Every structure is written in structure tokens, then in C-alpha cells.
């Protein structure tokens, strides 16, 4: 990031801004771009390309980085429509996923070559483990046994020296030819001896480990060759990832600054609204936002105002906004601000005096100014803080005026801060110059920049505020001279009046906005009244349609109930329900107005529904709603839609009540109506076949919502009928059964009520 330079063209800047907007939009949607998992594996892969065998950790790290790159490309490819710039950059990621998966899959979770992927490694590792076990077991026996006593063993343990298992033997026993000596302790009292009993096993162990290393090296060689083929593709993919990562950083900076995207033109113009110094924003300082402008009509801006009033902050704000755009970043300003691209930004800010260069503050400032004059031209932005200060005021003012006039002819945009009265006056009179001042109100700077105003330095006021003695201030005023002091007072009074005028204008603007808002509100209200009239007409028609749909739905429910459980009583109940629904349609008569204070309703009250023009009984209450039984249907209605009546609805109530009264089991079985869909023909089946068929039929009937079904077993020998009826007593699907009545087909049928 530190090595990044300004973007070369306006088009590249616009593309960077587009990409930042896309990144912000993706992050807002919660899209996780795994750019953080990408590491720079180009060096290792280039070495593999040249034939070097990479270590397992290097291979795995490179493969994981490449897998993350592939995932980044896949995420942006899926979002190509909403993030076309990012997707186009990510299209440079063209790595071979098969190779990457092969390398990643070659290692187990611990980072070791996988034994399941390479069985030969698993066998070698198991053999080595077995040899280790044999050696340790042999040494354990020697340590714990009696062959080597305390007169030989320095201590009863074994250890490893030079990758060989050894025992600590007392130095005087080394001549006893107990084995091969592999070193001594620091004191010389202990020698580490590889016993003869494990020499052969240790030799086998070293050979097995050598075979394992050779096998692993062969696999690592193959994997290094594979991953080396991706070197060129990885170079392009990593560059794309860097570009995406920089874009993510731009998006992060944008969020931190609460920045917006500026318009970027080609006229060397800066016109920012409510701009804030970005460094102060990042530090969490409460920043006074300002409007600042410099363009082709007025290429020079003269900033004046009190000391410590914010002139330099305003100067830097302009410069940093321009620099941010040159690097493809959003700016901390209001929307619709404009910041064009400048080829160069040159600045003289601060004190550059040096002892080594024998330069005073003024001399160092002049050296900087000379460098600017030598290289200045169109397409550049120059920032001069306290131009030509630090010397005789009269000569400094003359030099500053001449310098600004000369620079203005060379085509750059120039922003200058000054206390020189001559420069302020020129800023107000010269056609290419414009002035701005940092406001000074109520005895202190406000840090607000007023375009078109000139500001006093207020040196004596500020000296008084910081506590210099009053006699010093009085003497300074005398030295200043009556005429100049009067001019200073007049300018101060003018600034105060300007402050009042600004406040008055703000109040007028506020009142004008309020008046416009009221007018718009009245117009909107009138439009709403007209629209509401049309809505009421449409609602009346819709209400009638809804009542028709409700009646149709209720009748459909009755039909469905009959189809699900046909019975004689059900048919009677359906008739009663349809009769009760006859009041749903509106009648020509006008409805009686509701009583002013209706009596409280309770369960059991008989009521009339105003909207449906039906009557029924309240069977439940819940807050502001009630459940009303209307015929065979229970409906939910608001309490405000109910009118208390006396007594049940004439004639229809008994039939409706009968329709919803739960019948006893025996009456439900006797009332059942036999149709083709609820009847199973079992004639000709054996008892066991009939039981299987009946069980499947019951299962289908339960899923279909049937309450009662019929079994047609006929008379025959009676074995099937008796076997089935005996089985029904224990069948889990059945709650009750009876032989069918004469009107249901007689004893050749059995009526079954399902659980």
C-alpha cells in the first residue's frame, strides 16, 4: 500500500471508484470475499517451476493460497451482474483447481502426507512404529531385568543418542563389551551404550526410516512438479488479488470516513460541500464541515482569517480530497461534490528551516516556491500556507502578490492562506481570484469558512483572549495607529454584521423550506382525499366480492366434509349450513345503526353479524374477537361487528346445532353412507390376505381423512367375515366397528370407525 502511486488517468480513477462502490454493496449484502486467506505463494511456486522440491509445509501453504484465490474468483463470478468491475478483475484468476485439490488432498489435517491417500506411506509408518515398539520393549526388559544390575546401569532408563536407542552405563563397565558406545556424559561418569540386543533392530529402524523418506521425497517431487506448472497463472491471479485487496482497503477507508463518491471531471476543478479533514475524522475529532471551491473561472483562492482559526486545516482538506481522488478513493464530503484529477499536487506548508543547509524559515520557504515556479503548469494544484511570511510585512506582501499573479498566468489551481491585507484586497478585486475567510464570531474563531468574505487576523483580540496584559494590548493599538486601528475595528464590525446576515439568511431559508413543505403537504393531502374516494368505491365492490368468496368457501368446506365422511346426518347438517349462509349476501334494506353503547357480550349470547348478515351463537371470546357458530360453520368476527339478539335464529338453529353435535360411536357408524371410495372389496381373499389388504386400505383412508369405511367380505362360508371381525378388535387403526345395517348393505359389510 505504501508503494502505491496516484492512478494514471481519470478513466482508471472512475473504474477504481466503481469497484469500491461494488465492494461496499457486496459487504452490505453480507457477501464474504475470502481475500484474507490469500497469501503470496509466488516465490515458492516459481522455485517448484525451476525443479526445486518444496517441503510439505510449503506445498500445503501454496495450495491453500491458490484454493483461496479460486474461491475469490468463484464468489465474484457468481456476482458478475452486480459487481462487473470486480468480476472482470477476478477473471484473471485461472488456476487449475484439479491440481490444487490434488495437492491439498495429499496432506492430512496435521500437515503430513496422507497415509490414506498414499497407502505405501501408511505401511512404512506402521512398520517403523512396530520397530520402535520392539526396540523399546527390549530396552525395558534390559532395564527392569537382572542381567544388568545397579553395578552396570547408571540409572534404570533408556534414551536416544545419534538417533540410536542407548542405555546409560557406568563408565567402568564400558570394557565389558555390552554394545556400541555412542557418547559420554559431561562428567564422564556415564557412557551411552547401544546394547547388542537392539543393534539389529536399530539398523532395521534406520533402513525403514530411509525408505519412508525416499517415498515421501518422491511424492513431494511429483507434487512440486504439478504445482510448478501454475507459476505463470499464479502470478496473474496474485496481482488480481492484490488489486481486489486494495479495493477492499478503499472500501474500509470509505466507511471509516463516512465518505461519498465525488464527481470526477476534466476541468481541474474542486467544488466540495461540507468537506471534512480526513485525518481529523479518523482521529475521532468533531470536525466543522466547510464548502470550498476553486475552478477555471477563479483559479486562485485566497484564504484569510484569524490565527489558529482553521485556514491551514481548510487548505489541507482541499489538498487531501484531491489526493484521495488521485488514489481512487471516496472523499469525506457531501454527495454531489466534485473533485477532478490533478496531474500533480505541490505544497508549501510548515517550517522547512535547516541548520545544515544554512536556511532560515523564510529562505527555506523561498527555495520551495522556486521549485514550484520551475515546474508549475496546467493540471496541477498548488497549496501555499502563509505565502511569503517570515520577513518584512511590506516586502513579503509585495512578493506574495507578485508570485500569485505570476502563478495564475501559468494555468494551475492555487490555494493560498495569508494575513497580508494587500493580498486579501487583490483577492477581492482580481477577476481570477476569489476570497474566503474563516469566520470569527463572539470573540473566537468558529472554524467555518465563508466563501466570498475577507477576514481580519484579529491578532489583538486573540492576544487578549490568551491573557496578555491589558496595557500591552492598549499600547499595541496605539502603535498600530488610529487610522489602521479604526480600519481593523470597521472590518471586525463588518464581520459581525456578516455573521448576523448569515444567520438571518439561514432563518429565511428555513422559513421558506417550511412554507414549501406546508404547500406540498396540502397538495398531497388533497390528492389523498381524491384517491381515498376512489378507494372507497373500489372497497365497496371488493367487500361484496369477498362476501361471495366467503360463502363459496364455506359451501366448499361443507361439500368436502360430506366427501370425507358421508352420512345421513351430515347431509342434513350441510342443508342447515347452506340455509344459514343464505344471509351472507347483502339485502337492499338499509342496516339499522348500531347502538351507542352495546351491552357486553358473553359466551352463549345470540348475535347477528353486520357484515355477513348472518346470525349465530358465541362459542368463544378472545380479546376483541369472538368465535360465532353460524349453522354448521364457526367463524371469527370482531366484537364491533356483532349485534346482540334475543333467542336463537328462527328455525335454522336446531338443524345447524344438529350438524355440529358430535354423535356417539354407534350412531356415527349407523349414519355412515357407503360409496365406492370408502369401500374395500375383499371377496375371494383368505383371512391373512384380507388383513393385509384391510391394513393398507385403513392407512390410505387415514391419510385421506376418512372417519368411517366399509369392508365388503360377503357371506360365503363365514370364515373371512369372522376372521376379519376378530382381527378388528385388536387392530390399531380401528376405534369401533359394527355389522352394516340393512340400509347400508346388510351383514355382507362391516362398518369400521377409524382412530
Instruction: Report whether pLDDT(649) > 60.
Output: no
Q: Indicate if 53 and 169 belong to the same structural domain.
A: no
Which of 444, 466, 488 terminates a domain? The answer is 466
Neighbours of 191 (CB within 10 A): 22
Q: Indicate if 626 and 749 belong to the same structural domain.
A: no
CB 76 within 8 A of CB 83: yes
Given CA atoms 161, 167, 172, 176 in this order, what sign does their dihedral have? Answer: negative
Per mean pLDDT, which range of 338-342, 354-358, 498-502, 571-575 is the poorest?
A: 354-358
> What pLDDT, on the 0 to 100 scale, is given for residue 583?
54
Q: Indicate if 384 and 307 belong to the same structural domain.
A: yes
Instruction: Report whether pLDDT(655) > 50.
Output: no
Rounded-to-integer distance, Cα 198 and Cα 133, Å: 11
Given CA atoms 114, 119, 125, 130 in this order, what sign does their dihedral have? Answer: positive
The answer to the question of residue 513 being in a domain is: no
SS (HEC) of 65-120: HHHHHHHHHHHHHHCCCCCHHHHHHHCCCCCCHHHHHHHHHCECCCCCECCCCCHH
The answer to the question of residue 478 being in a domain is: no
C-alpha cell at 523: 397538495
Model confidence band, residue 420 (pLDDT cutoffs 50, 70, 90):
confident
Instruction: Report whether pLDDT(549) > 60.
Output: yes
For the chain, give the percent of residues with pLDDT over 90: 35
C-alpha cell at 593: 345503526
Instruction: Report whether pLDDT(657) > 60.
Output: no
The answer to the question of residue 562 being in a domain is: yes
Rounded-to-integer distance, Cα 551 and Cα 544, Å: 11
Distance of CA 331 to CAs 10, 27, 84, 275, 318, Å?
A: 16, 19, 23, 8, 10
Rounded-to-integer distance, Cα 603 and Cα 628, Å: 9
pLDDT digits (tens, 9 = 90+) for 67-94: 999 999 999 999 999 999 999 999 999 9
Rounded-to-integer distance, Cα 397 and Cα 376, Å: 21
The residue-averaged pLDDT of 591-601 equals: 58
CATH number of the domain at 157, please. 1.10.1420.10
The residue-averaged pLDDT of 607-615 equals: 68
Q: Indicate if 430 and 363 belong to the same structural domain.
A: yes
Cα angle 373, 374, 379; round to 5: 70
Q: Indicate if 578 and 684 belong to the same structural domain.
A: no
Q: Indicate if 244 and 382 belong to the same structural domain.
A: no
> What pLDDT, on the 0 to 100 scale, is given for residue 424?
78
> What pLDDT, on the 0 to 100 scale, is given for residue 112?
93
The answer to the question of residue 460 being in a domain is: yes
> What pLDDT, on the 0 to 100 scale, is given for residue 662?
35
Q: Indicate if 656 and 686 belong to the same structural domain.
A: no
In sequence order, what are the residues at sequence separation of 6 or more whose Cβ sits closer than 8 angstroms to the Cβ of residue 719? Answer: 687
CB 274 within 8 A of CB 32: no
Model confidence band, residue 587 (pLDDT cutoffs 50, 70, 90):
very low
- Residue 361 gets the label, from left (phi > 0), alpha (psi -120 to 50) or beta, of alpha
Per mean pLDDT, which range of 98-112, 130-144, 272-286, 311-325 is the poorest?
A: 130-144
> What pLDDT, on the 0 to 100 scale, is given for residue 634?
72
Question: Distance from CA of residue 408 to its chain's centroid?
Answer: 49
The residue-averaged pLDDT of 169-175 equals: 67
Q: Indicate if 124 and 181 belong to the same structural domain.
A: yes
> What pLDDT, on the 0 to 100 scale, is given for residue 83?
96
The answer to the question of residue 42 being in a domain is: yes
Model confidence band, residue 186 (pLDDT cutoffs 50, 70, 90):
low
CATH number of the domain at 642, please. 2.30.30.30
Rounded-to-integer distance, Cα 633 and Cα 697, Å: 30
Q: Indicate if 655 and 685 belong to the same structural domain.
A: no
Model confidence band, residue 353 (pLDDT cutoffs 50, 70, 90):
very low
Domain coverage including residue 361: 270-466
Q: Which residue has the higher pLDDT, 716 or 725?
A: 725
Question: Distance from CA of residue 70 to its chain's centroid?
Answer: 21
Q: pLDDT averaged over the chain?
A: 81
Q: Indicate if 171 and 242 belong to the same structural domain.
A: no
Q: Which residue has the higher pLDDT, 310 or 591?
A: 310
Per mean pLDDT, which range of 269-278, 413-422, 554-563, 724-733 is the poorest?
A: 554-563
Top-ranked range on mean pLDDT: pick from 178-192, 337-351, 357-371, 437-451: 337-351
pLDDT digits (tens, 9 = 90+) for 28-66: 999 989 998 999 999 999 999 999 999 999 999 999 999
Q: Indicate if 142 and 247 belong to the same structural domain.
A: no
CATH number of the domain at 687, please. 3.30.1370.110
Burial of 531 (0-12, 13-18, 19+ CB in 10 A): exposed
The answer to the question of residue 521 being in a domain is: no
pTM, two decimal places = 0.57
The answer to the question of residue 41 being in a domain is: yes
Per mean pLDDT, which range of 595-604, 668-677, 687-696 is the poorest?
A: 595-604
Q: Indicate if 278 and 368 belong to the same structural domain.
A: yes
The answer to the question of residue 542 being in a domain is: no
The residue-averaged pLDDT of 292-315 equals: 86
Say how many domains are in the chain: 5
Which of 626, 645, 660 terminates a domain? The answer is 660
> What pLDDT, on the 0 to 100 scale, is given for residue 418?
86
For the chain, give the percent of residues with pLDDT over 70: 77
Instruction: Report whether pLDDT(498) > 60.
Output: no
> What pLDDT, on the 0 to 100 scale, is given for residue 650?
47
> What pLDDT, on the 0 to 100 scale, is given for residue 149?
61
Which of 407, 434, 466 terminates a domain? The answer is 466
Amino acid at each position: 500500500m505504501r508503494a502505491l502511486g496516484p492512478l494514471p488517468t481519470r478513466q482508471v480513477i472512475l473504474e477504481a471508484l466503481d469497484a469500491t462502490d461494488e465492494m461496499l454493496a457486496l459487504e452490505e449484502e453480507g457477501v464474504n470475499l475470502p481475500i484474507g486467506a490469500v497469501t503470496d505463494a509466488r516465490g515458492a511456486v516459481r522455485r517448484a517451476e525451476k525443479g526445486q522440491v518444496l517441503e510439505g509445509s510449503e506445498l500445503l501453504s501454496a495450495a491453500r493460497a491458490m484454493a483461496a484465490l479460486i474461491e475469490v474468483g468463484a464468489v465474484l463470478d457468481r456476482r458478475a451482474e452486480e459487481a462487473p468491475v470486480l468480476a472482470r478483475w477476478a477473471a484473471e484468476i485461472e488456476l487449475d483447481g484439479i491440481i490444487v485439490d490434488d495437492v491439498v488432498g495429499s496432506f492430512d489435517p496435521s500437515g503430513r502426507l496422507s497415509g490414506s491417500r498414499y497407502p505405501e506411506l501408511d505401511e512404512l509408518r506402521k512398520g517403523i512404529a512396530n520397530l520402535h515398539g520392539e526396540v523399546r520393549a527390549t530396552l525395558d526388559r534390559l532395564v527392569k531385568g537382572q542381567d544388568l544390575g545397579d553395578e552396570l546401569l547408571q540409572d534404570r532408563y533408556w534414551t536416544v543418542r545419534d538417533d540410536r536407542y542407548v542405555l546409560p552405563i557406568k563408565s567402568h563397565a564400558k570394557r565389558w563389551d555390552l554394545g556400541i558406545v555412542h557418547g559420554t556424559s559431561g562428567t564422564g561418569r556415564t557412557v551411552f551404550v547401544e546394547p547388542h540386543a537392539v543393534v539389529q533392530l536399530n539398523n532395521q529402524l534406520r533402513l525403514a526410516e530411509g525408505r519412508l523418506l525416499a517415498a515421501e521425497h518422491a511424492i513431494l517431487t511429483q507434487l512440486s512438479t504439478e504445482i510448478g506448472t501454475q507459476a505463470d497463472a499464479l502470478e496473474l491471479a496474485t496481482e488480481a488479488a492484490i488489486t481486489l485487496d486494495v479495493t477492499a482497503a478503499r472500501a474500509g477507508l470509505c466507511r471509516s470516513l463516512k465518505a461519498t463518491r465525488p464527481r470526477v471531471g476534466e476541468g481541474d476543478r474542486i467544488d466540495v460541500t461540507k468537506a471534512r479533514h480526513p485525518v481529523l475524522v479518523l482521529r475521532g475529532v468533531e470536525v466543522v464541515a466547510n464548502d470550498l471551491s476553486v475552478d477555471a473561472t477563479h483559479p486562485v483562492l485566497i484564504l484569510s482569517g484569524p490565527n489558529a482559526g482553521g485556514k491551514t486545516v481548510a487548505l489541507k482538506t482541499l489538498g487531501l480530497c484531491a489526493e484521495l481522488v488521485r488514489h481512487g478513493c471516496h472523499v469525506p464530503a457531501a454527495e454531489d461534490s466534485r473533485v477532478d484529477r490533478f496531474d500533480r499536487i505541490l505544497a508549501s506548508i510548515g517550517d522547512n528551516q535547516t541548520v545544515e543547509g544554512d536556511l532560515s524559515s523564510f529562505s527555506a520557504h523561498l527555495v520551495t516556491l522556486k521549485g514550484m515556479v520551475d515546474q508549475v503548469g496546467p493540471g496541477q494544484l498548488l497549496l501555499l500556507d502563509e505565502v511569503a511570511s517570515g520577513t518584512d510585512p511590506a516586502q513579503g506582501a509585495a512578493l506574495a502578490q507578485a508570485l500569485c499573479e505570476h502563478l495564475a498566468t501559468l494555468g494551475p489551481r492555487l490555494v493560498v492562506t495569508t494575513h497580508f491585507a494587500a493580498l486579501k484586497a487583490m483577492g477581492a478585486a482580481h477577476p481570477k481570484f476569489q476570497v474566503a475567510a474563516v469566520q470569527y464570531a463572539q470573540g473566537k474563531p468558529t472554524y467555518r469558512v465563508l466563501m466570498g468574505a475577507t477576514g481580519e487576523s484579529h491578532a489583538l483580540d486573540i492576544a487578549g483572549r490568551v491573557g496578555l496584559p491589558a496595557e500591552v494590548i492598549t499600547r499595541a493599538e496605539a502603535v498600530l495607529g488610529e487610522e489602521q486601528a479604526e480600519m481593523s475595528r470597521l472590518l471586525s464590525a463588518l464581520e459581525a454584521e456578516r455573521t448576523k446576515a448569515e444567520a438571518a439568511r439561514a432563518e429565511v431559508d428555513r422559513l421558506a423550506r417550511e412554507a414549501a413543505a406546508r404547500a406540498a403537504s396540502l397538495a398531497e393531502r388533497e390528492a389523498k382525499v381524491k384517491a381515498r374516494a376512489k378507494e372507497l368505491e373500489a372497497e365497496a365492490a371488493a367487500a361484496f366480492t369477498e362476501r361471495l368468496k366467503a360463502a363459496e368457501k364455506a359451501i366448499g368446506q361443507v361439500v368436502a366434509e360430506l366427501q370425507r365422511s358421508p352420512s345421513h346426518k351430515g347431509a342434513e347438517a350441510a342443508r342447515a349450513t347452506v340455509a344459514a349462509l343464505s344471509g351472507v349476501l347483502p339485502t337492499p334494506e338499509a342496516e339499522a345503526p348500531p347502538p351507542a353503547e352495546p351491552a357486553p357480550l358473553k359466551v352463549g349470547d345470540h348475535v347477528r353479524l353486520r357484515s355477513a348478515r348472518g346470525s349465530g351463537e358465541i362459542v368463544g371470546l378472545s380479546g376483541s374477537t369472538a368465535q360465532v357458530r353460524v349453522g354448521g360453520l364457526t367463524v371469527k368476527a370482531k366484537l364491533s361487528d356483532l349485534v346482540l339478539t334475543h333467542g336463537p335464529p328462527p328455525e335454522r338453529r336446531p338443524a345447524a346445532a344438529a350438524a355440529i353435535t358430535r354423535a356417539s360411536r354407534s350412531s356415527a357408524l349407523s349414519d355412515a353412507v357407503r360409496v365406492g371410495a370408502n369401500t374395500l372389496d375383499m371377496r375371494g381373499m383368505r383371512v391373512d390376505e384380507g388383513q393385509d389388504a384391510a391394513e393398507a386400505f385403513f392407512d390410505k383412508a387415514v391419510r385421506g381423512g376418512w372417519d368411517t369405511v366399509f369392508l365388503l367380505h360377503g357371506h360365503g362360508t363365514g370364515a373371512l367375515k369372522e376372521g376379519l371381525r376378530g382381527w378388528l378388535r385388536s387392530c390399531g387403526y380401528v376405534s369401533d366397528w359394527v355389522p352394516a345395517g340393512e340400509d347400508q348393505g346388510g351383514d355382507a359389510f362391516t362398518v369400521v370407525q377409524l382412530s
